Amino acid sequence: MNARVKATVVGTGVLGVGVILGVLAAQAQSPAKPDPSKSSYISVNEEDFRTVSARMKAAKAAVMKRQMDLLAARYDLGDRPAAGVTMSKGKPVQEGVRVRLPQGVTWDALGKMTPEEIRDKGLYPAGFMPLPHPNQPEGGMVFPQFMIT
């Protein structure tokens, strides 16, 4: 072996030993297991799972009725399949506009208004607004700039 190769092998060996010693020293300084009592995590659960599950199962029928009433108020949920059009497995594609408009408003009248007029008159169709989460309390999150009156 020539001198250059020997120097490279020796240098690599010294460097490897140094890295190993550094890792061992770092491990010796750090505690083996963190103390779980010193966690910054604070549980937000005030009830145990069984209590929450029982309460939600009991309320399921009322929640489903409220959500279905909300959907029926916002959308036309009727079954009107388009003639001759189906999805890949034969399910019919529904035809027509499904968003319900406020009483006495037509799409043509809405199309002739400016966005400011629609906002000021409160005529923005509720079907284009986000739906609340089914478990969101009544009167929950309200965004005044989007409220429909």
Task: List, for residues 124-145, the tens digit of each pLDDT value.
Answer: 998 888 888 887 766 555 444 4
Yes or no: say if 113 and 106 are a contact pair by the CB < 8 Å rule: no
The pLDDT of residue 36: 65
Which pLDDT score, from 0 to 100, does residue 147 have?
46
Range of the domain at 90: 47-97
- Tell whether 108 and 81 lie within a shared domain: no
Domain identity same for 52 and 91: yes
**Domain presence at residue 84:** yes
Q: How many domains does the chain have?
A: 2
**Contacts with 32 (C-beta within 8 Å, 6 or more apart), sequence order:** none
Q: Do both 110 and 78 map to the same domain?
A: no
Same domain, 93 and 66: yes
144 in a domain, yes or no? no
User: What is the rounded average pLDDT of the residues 97-112?
Assistant: 91
- CB 81, CB 92: distance < 8 Å: yes
Residue 94's identity, in one-letter code, is Q
Both structure tokens of 138: 């009544």
Q: How many CA atoms lie within 13 A of 117 on its CB side?
A: 7
The answer to the question of residue 81 being in a domain is: yes
Residues 56 and 84 in one domain: yes
Tell me: do 55 and 89 sit in the same domain: yes
Considering the domain boundaries, does residue 53 fall inside one? yes
Residues 6+ apart with CB under 8 A from 125: 74, 99, 100, 101, 102, 110
Tell me, yes or no, whether 93 lies in a domain: yes
* pLDDT, tens digit (0-9, with 9 covering 90-100), for 63-85: 899 889 999 999 998 999 999 99
**In terms of domains, do 57 and 90 share one?**
yes
